[in-house]
A = this chain, B = another copy of it.
Amino acid sequence: MTTSSETWLEQLHDHGYRVTAARRAVVDTVFGTTHALTPSEVYDTARKKYRALGLVTVYRTLEKLEELHLIQRVHQPMGCQAFIAAGIGHQHLLLCQQCGQVEFFEGDDLDTLTKSIARKTGYQIQEHWLQLFGLCTNCK
């Protein structure tokens, strides 16, 4: 199961969107990074692949990629405008506080907790956000 940025372009195409040079540049950029990127960072990097790219197109493309669940927004204390390739299935993020590297992990089990909280509060719990912060092997 090898995935490449072509997969994303195919998905865009399958949903009636056109595959353009500008979108290729944005898709390649976001697909191939292990750091959450802001629109402006995507712009800077993608413009090295496609000089004529406009920042507006970056915003528009990120919007579509998010809509197709190919990327996801990364929330951080410093800001919440960064994006990363979405995890597959039920996964959560682990972020390096020093260099911003992003890892996914799975295997969290919050059933006991959520059932207990549901009972105590009367809420019907539907989803959860979990995110770990730390230092990566390079930074620690």
Contacts and interface: CB of A to CB of B under 8 A. Distances in A.
A68 interface: no
A123 B103 contact: yes
A113 interface: yes
Nearest to A136: B123
A133 interface: yes
A37 to B, nearest CB: 17
Nearest to A128: B132
Given A124-B134, A137-B123, A117 B94 contact: yes
Nearest to A137: B122
Interface of A: 75, 80, 94, 96-97, 103, 105, 107-110, 113-114, 116-118, 120-137, 140
